Structure 1
Amino acid sequence: MVIKTNLKFNNPFIALKHKNYRYYWLGMCVSLIGTWMQNIAQPWLAYNLTNSPFLLSLIGALQFTPMLFFSLIAGVFIDKHNKKKIILLTQSLSLVITFILALLVWAGQVQYWHILVSATALGMVNTLDMPARQAFVIEIAGKADLMNAIALNSAVFNAARVIGPALAGIIMEYAGIAFCFLFNSISFAAVIISLLLIKPLTAQSKPKKNAKVLTDIKEGLKYIYKHDILLNSILLMAIIGTFAMNFNVLVPVFAKEILKQKETGFGFLMSFMGIGSFIGALFIASISKPGPNKRFFNILPVAIAIFLIITGITRIYLITGLCLALTGFFFISFSSTVNSTMQLNSKDEYRGRVMSIYSLVFAGSTPLGNLYAGAFTDHFGARTGFGACGAIIILLLIPIYIKAFNKRSRRSINT
């Protein structure tokens, strides 16, 4: 596939013409608001229980550790089984796990270790859920509208990132933090109902008979390694996924210690990032018809790193919010482009494994980044935490860009 470099705008909501995708998208609209309410409530609760940035980062680390170790196995399982049934299972388990945590918080019995166990359990479920949902999109939206559907998924994710934190901040301050966890639990039912209404457009390809798990994993890794576009996408996403995805560690501490904010201020600060991310997702949806844009693919990681560093030196609440909004814009533009690039360049029989590796580097590497950001924040403060994340991204991008430049130079000489 040739990646386009010119911009052509199109209807940003074109994928909603597919009834199956429309059901799924509406279910996600409800569920993701609940998810973001818990994403705000959980680190705030943990930090107030422990008053430790490192223990806060440990929750994020444990939540994503299962993905780090089991993503490759999950990809093989997804390629061999019905994706719709897998997602029904994972959403049902998520409902149960979050409901138990809501009850503990409601009863006033919640302890730090309860949050650790809940986060780990959700991490195990998400190890299967995330790549299954990524690979399922093409079955309900079709290949022609895949990039638009991925961008719309990001749009609703980040619309929820605006609404969820704002609601969570208000609810935590005036009604109690337990309501955030309860709403998230109930919201999973929306996705379950939408899935029951869906009939996938494409039949799932039949897997090889008697293939061993390790053999299938090896084949998936070889497939990515042999295709430069997939390999480069994975490398860049690994860097950004590890060191840019640490807002659950950095922002609560920055809001409380540097900006002197309470729950509502923290919630609205995260909403700034959601607004930027939402705009970025709509922007990508608007230019999705020609395919992924190569210029953005290479420029966006640098922009993310720069704004992480700038965020760390801000002192005024509004300016911090604007910096987070710009970081969100660039991050979602980048992740949507990488996601589309990988799916459009993968064969059907490998898509589950390819997207499991995408999930691995997108979220599975978060434990390393959380611990890295948490350690810097714990010893040197939240400002240094932001700066350290931005700086290491730039350092790791340099050899990748040098290698790509040298490769292009050799090609131009040969031609």
Structure 2
Amino acid sequence: MSASPTDVTDVTDRQPSAWAPLRSAAFRSLWLAVLASNIGTWMQTVGAQWLLVDAPGAATLVSLVQTASMLPVLMLALPAGALADTFDRRRLLIAVQCFLAAVGVLLTVLTAAGRMPPALLLTLTFGLGVGQALTLPAWQAVIPELVPRSQLVSASALGSISVNLARSVGPAVAGVLVAQAGVAVVFAVNAVSFAIFAVTLVRWRPARREQDAAPERFTAALRAGGRYVRHSPVVRRILLRAALFVVPGSALWALLPLVASRRLGLGAGGYGVLLGALGVGAVAGALVLPRVRRVLSSNHLLLLAGLLYAVVLATLALVPVPAVAVVALVPAGLAWMTVLSSVNAAMQLFLPGWVRARGLSVYQMVFAGGQALGAVAWGALGEFTGLVGALTVAAALMAVGALSVLLWPLRETRGVDRDPAVYWPEPHLTLEPPARGGPVLVTVSYTVRPERQAEFVEAMRAVGRSRRRTGAMRWGLFRAGERADGFVEVYQVPTWEEHLRQHGGRLTGADRVVEERARALAEDDVRVNHLLPAEPE
């Protein structure tokens, strides 16, 4: 499918109330459980960072907490997405929450015993990050099973509210607990939050999903997910916008503990207040954003939010006054939520069901990778130039990234059909290949009048992207040397099984539109051939 302005559903379209998905009991209970887990995660992050504030090389070590949390998502996101698209998502989520609870208990016990050196703390934090990497794509892919498509944008907004409400409550509670009871208690609460999510998942009884007769193999699923993202210009643009915001934006999260302790002279409680201000701004933004979207496009929102975030970074660098910092962090939370909820909703709405978890896992990879690698860079820059220099550079990069929306905007998107469309005729072959036999070469012959040929070639470029997204390793369009009006489309699929998946559900209504547009320019004598390997298996 081409990357025209009509390729995805516009997230600025009018949507149901942000609270509508909560009318579903299943979504409501799971959303509350995820909220509890998010609160625990933010408490754990604050506790881990505060343990390292007074350690030698604190700027690097504190930023490495964020890196240890996010790096597993960068490393494991696509495999996690393939697992979530291949196996039962509920059972996968339950197993992962049990693992996370076990790691949380170990953190609690060792910290209470005074046996938590920085290296071990970062290692166990990395273990929690592994669990989160496995959780994120599975949970994101479950959401369309809980609410109707018309409520997906609202569900995405509620996801942002959950994350940012946790960001508001978790750090504030953690700051109080660290000051009054110690870091071990914070880690214990985090372990309990994972257990709550696991119990809620056990109690949830989803409707049985239709399964493919032969589920995708893991390695094939990985390759298919990578092909889809690589050949989808719309998805690549969404990922670019996310990266241009997250990389400079991560400076705030990586350096805020040091800003609190060194620039503002605050303790653990004060750091919690700063994070709470960010969370309050994000929650407030989630509530007013639906109204703002009615008057501003997604690209205008990205531009304004990026510039606002840049101003906040510059303010923290230049004005070391606690009251000013608290006030400035409220709009920073609003800007953070605006950008990430916009790009996340665009991904949710654009991705077809068969590859949704894998596509969202790539988004999580960009998001987490930007934070993880950005945190290391900002921590190192903070050691070299000081906090003021690092924050000033981050502010400048954020402003440049925001202005780049004028060159690389999100695609304007208007209601294209993303539902599965089974419209290819079933292939009837004399030689029936084995399911995993291949590769399979498919040729499609067209007859096109000379006056239509230029338009036909242009239309077939969109068809080629569709073929590659849904399974083709290679694609090409050729002229028939013996006929002035002859064209031959050729594409190679790795296995017969992969080609049957194209026939049986990978194509969407939007793919059908671009294919029909091309075929309307050709004569009716379209011929399809399937070429199989000559060597026996």
- TM norm structure 2: 0.70
Percent of aligned positions that are identical: 25
For residues 308 and 278 of structure 1, the distance between their equivalents in structure 2, rounded to whole angstroms, comes to 20
Equivalent residue for 1:365, pick from 370, 388, 400: 370
How far 1:286 sits from its partner (Å)?
6.3
Letter in 1 for 2:258: V
Partner in structure 2 of residue 227 of structure 1? 232
Letter in 2 for 1:3: D
How far 1:100 sits from its partner (Å)?
0.6
For residues 289 and 95 of structure 1, the distance between their equivalents in structure 2, rounded to whole angstroms, comes to 42
Is residue 354 of structure 2 the alignment partner of residue 342 of structure 1?
Answer: no
User: Measured at CA, do residues 225 and 329 of structure 1 come closer, stay the same or move farther in structure 2, by a change above 3 Å?
Assistant: same
User: Measured at CA, do residues 301 and 157 of structure 1 come closer, stay the same or move farther in structure 2, by a change above 3 Å?
Assistant: same
Equivalent residue for 2:103, pick from 93, 97, 102: 97
User: Measured at CA, do residues 269 and 400 of structure 1 come closer, stay the same or move farther in structure 2, by a change above 3 Å?
Assistant: closer
Structure with the bigger percentage of strand: 2
Mapping for residues 27-106 of structure 1, pairs under 5 Å: 27-50=33-56, 52-106=58-112
How far 1:88 sits from its partner (Å)?
1.0
For residues 94 and 294 of structure 2, the distance between their equivalents in structure 1, rounded to whole angstroms, comes to 30
Mapping for residues 384-399 of structure 1, pairs under 5 Å: 384-396=389-401
Q: Render the CA deviation track for 1:78-112: whole Å, top value 9, x for unaligned.
A: 11111111111111111111111111111122111
Equivalent residue for 1:277, pick from 282, 285, 289: 282
How far 1:208 sits from its partner (Å)?
6.2
Partner in structure 2 of residue 410 of structure 1? none
Is residue 148 of structure 2 the alignment partner of residue 135 of structure 1?
Answer: no
User: Measured at CA, do residues 89 and 112 of structure 1 come closer, stay the same or move farther in structure 2, by a change above 3 Å?
Assistant: same
Partner SS for 1:145: helix
Letter in 2 for 1:196: V
Equivalent residue for 1:153, pick from 154, 159, 172: 159
Q: Render the CA deviation track for 1:98-147: whole Å, top value 9, x for unaligned.
A: 11111111112211112111111112222211111111111112322111
How far 1:313 sits from its partner (Å)?
1.8
For residues 363 and 130 of structure 2, the distance between their equivalents in structure 1, rounded to whole angstroms, comes to 16
How far 1:311 sits from its partner (Å)?
2.6
Q: Render the CA deviation track for 1:201-222: whole Å, top value 9, x for unaligned.
A: 5726538656462x43343233
Q: Render the CA deviation track for 1:329-359: whole Å, top value 9, x for unaligned.
A: 0111111111111111110001011100011
User: Measured at CA, do residues 400 and 205 of structure 1 come closer, stay the same or move farther in structure 2, by a change above 3 Å?
Assistant: farther
User: Measured at CA, do residues 362 and 404 of structure 1 come closer, stay the same or move farther in structure 2, by a change above 3 Å?
Assistant: closer
For residues 382 and 389 of structure 1, the distance between their equivalents in structure 2, rounded to whole angstroms, comes to 11
Is residue 22 of structure 2 the alignment partner of residue 16 of structure 1?
Answer: yes
Letter in 2 for 1:136: V
Partner in structure 2 of residue 170 of structure 1? 176
Partner in structure 1 of residue 212 of structure 2? 206
Partner in structure 1 of residue 384 of structure 2? 379
Unaligned runs of at least 5 residues, structure 1: 408-415
How far 1:2 sits from its partner (Å)?
4.1
Letter in 2 for 1:18: S
For residues 174 and 101 of structure 1, the distance between their equivalents in structure 2, rounded to whole angstroms, comes to 19
Contact 1:277 1:325 in 2 (8 A): yes
Equivalent residue for 1:190, pick from 181, 192, 196: 196
User: Measured at CA, do residues 398 and 13 of structure 1 come closer, stay the same or move farther in structure 2, by a change above 3 Å?
Assistant: closer
User: Measured at CA, do residues 342 and 225 of structure 1 come closer, stay the same or move farther in structure 2, by a change above 3 Å?
Assistant: same
User: Measured at CA, do residues 78 and 10 of structure 1 come closer, stay the same or move farther in structure 2, by a change above 3 Å?
Assistant: closer
Equivalent residue for 1:112, pick from 115, 118, 123: 118
Equivalent residue for 2:322, pick from 306, 317, 320: 317
For residues 111 and 300 of structure 1, the distance between their equivalents in structure 2, rounded to whole angstroms, comes to 39
Partner in structure 1 of residue 127 of structure 2? 121
For residues 216 and 162 of structure 2, the distance between their equivalents in structure 1, rounded to whole angstroms, comes to 40
Structure with the bigger percentage of helix: 1
Contact 2:78 2:222 in 1 (8 A): yes
- Deviation beyond 4 Å, 4+ runs, structure 1: 207-212, 285-292, 396-400
Contact 1:308 1:389 in 2 (8 A): yes
Partner SS for 2:363: helix
User: Measured at CA, do residues 199 and 129 of structure 1 come closer, stay the same or move farther in structure 2, by a change above 3 Å?
Assistant: same
How far 1:278 sits from its partner (Å)?
1.1
How far 1:274 sits from its partner (Å)?
0.8
How far 1:175 sits from its partner (Å)?
1.7
Partner in structure 1 of residue 331 of structure 2? 326
Equivalent residue for 1:217, pick from 209, 213, 222: 222
For residues 196 and 290 of structure 1, the distance between their equivalents in structure 2, rounded to whole angstroms, comes to 43
Contact 2:244 2:398 in 1 (8 A): yes
Q: Render the CA deviation track for 1:349-386: whole Å, top value 9, x for unaligned.
A: 01011100011011133221011110121122222222
How far 1:172 sits from its partner (Å)?
1.1
Partner SS for 1:49: coil
Higher relative contact order (CA 8 A, sep 6+): 1
For residues 404 and 203 of structure 2, the distance between their equivalents in structure 1, rounded to whole angstroms, comes to 48
Mean CA deviation greater in 379-388 or 79-88: 379-388
Question: Which structure's CA Rg is the greater one?
Answer: 2
Partner SS for 2:150: coil
Contact 1:147 1:285 in 2 (8 A): no
For residues 284 and 207 of structure 1, the distance between their equivalents in structure 2, rounded to whole angstroms, comes to 43
Partner SS for 2:300: helix
Is residue 407 of structure 2 the alignment partner of residue 402 of structure 1?
Answer: yes
For residues 202 and 394 of structure 1, the distance between their equivalents in structure 2, rounded to whole angstroms, comes to 47
For residues 119 and 4 of structure 1, the distance between their equivalents in structure 2, rounded to whole angstroms, comes to 35
Q: Render the CA deviation track for 1:44-63: whole Å, top value 9, x for unaligned.
A: 11222335201222232233
- TM norm structure 1: 0.89
Contact 1:132 1:352 in 2 (8 A): yes
Partner in structure 1 of residue 249 of structure 2? 244
User: Measured at CA, do residues 263 and 5 of structure 1 come closer, stay the same or move farther in structure 2, by a change above 3 Å?
Assistant: closer
User: Measured at CA, do residues 155 and 403 of structure 1 come closer, stay the same or move farther in structure 2, by a change above 3 Å?
Assistant: closer
Partner SS for 2:121: helix
